[in-house]
Amino acid sequence: MINILKYLFLPPLFNIILIFLGLLLIYRFKKTGMALCSFGLASLLLLSLPITSYLLLRPLETAHPLQEKQMEEVQAVVVLGGGRDYTAPEYGWKHGPSDATLKRLAYGAYVAHQAKVPILVSGGRVHGEEHSEAFLMARALQNIFGIQTVWLEEESRTTRENAQYSTATLQAENIDLIALVSQAWHLPRAMGEFQNHSVTVIAAPTAFISPPPPGVMGWIPRTYHLQQSTIALHEYMGLVVYRLTSHR
């Protein structure tokens, strides 16, 4: 239910609601209706610009790339699930990791190989699917990257639960220093959640946002950049919720 409600405050649904309300009001309250329609359309256009999505996502990328010296210190790599694809026939799978998750797995496999440490994958069944995200991730690590997963955390459905259940597994294995792999824009929130538990976390960011194309192309609206802006706004909302509900 919470997952559904949050989309009411994110584009494009939030913009559509504003425009719809504006159209309902426009005949009786013309100025109010016009204002709602104009704001809904203008903000939708603005959020679709490459320059906007970059300016929203870039401040979230506070973690520096993992250094070789840091790799020598970590005892394990933790890769967070980032969604699934419900059709992956090219691999002979019914479900597979999403593109975002595959980027995390690729970097997690690289770090685990360089550091020569075990890897934990974290992700449950958000919609009651047959296999957990962690299962899909472990299979991809084995079949695509040739990496054997040591631990699967299959119960979590949120970043907070990723941290809660993963650290419980790590503590049982006497591991207290990990490299945490996720998109650079996701790590501020993820790091905060993991640092609430008795484990030392080193950020291992990947998939940094690219600057907008130069010239006029940076100002042409595209659906991809609307999606990126939505991701950024979702992360800002998540950071607010984290700070309000953190038990540190």
What integer best gives the mean pLDDT of the chain?
95
The edge-to-edge listing of strands for the beta sheet with 151-153 is 151-153, 119-122, 76-80, 177-183, 200-206
pLDDT digits (tens, 9 = 90+) for 180-237: 999 999 999 999 999 999 899 999 999 999 999 999 999 999 999 999 999 999 999 9
Q: Using the Cα atoms of residue 217, residue 218, residue 220 and residue 226 in order, give the sign of their dihedral.
A: positive
| Whether pLDDT at 3 is above 90 | no
pTM for the complete prediction? 0.93
Q: Coil, strand, or helix at residue 219?
A: helix
> pLDDT category, 143, cuts 50, 70, 90?
very high
Domain 65-206, CATH 3.40.50.970 — does that match? no
Spell out where 143-192 has E strands: 151-153, 177-183
Give domain limits for the chain: 2-59+221-245, 65-206
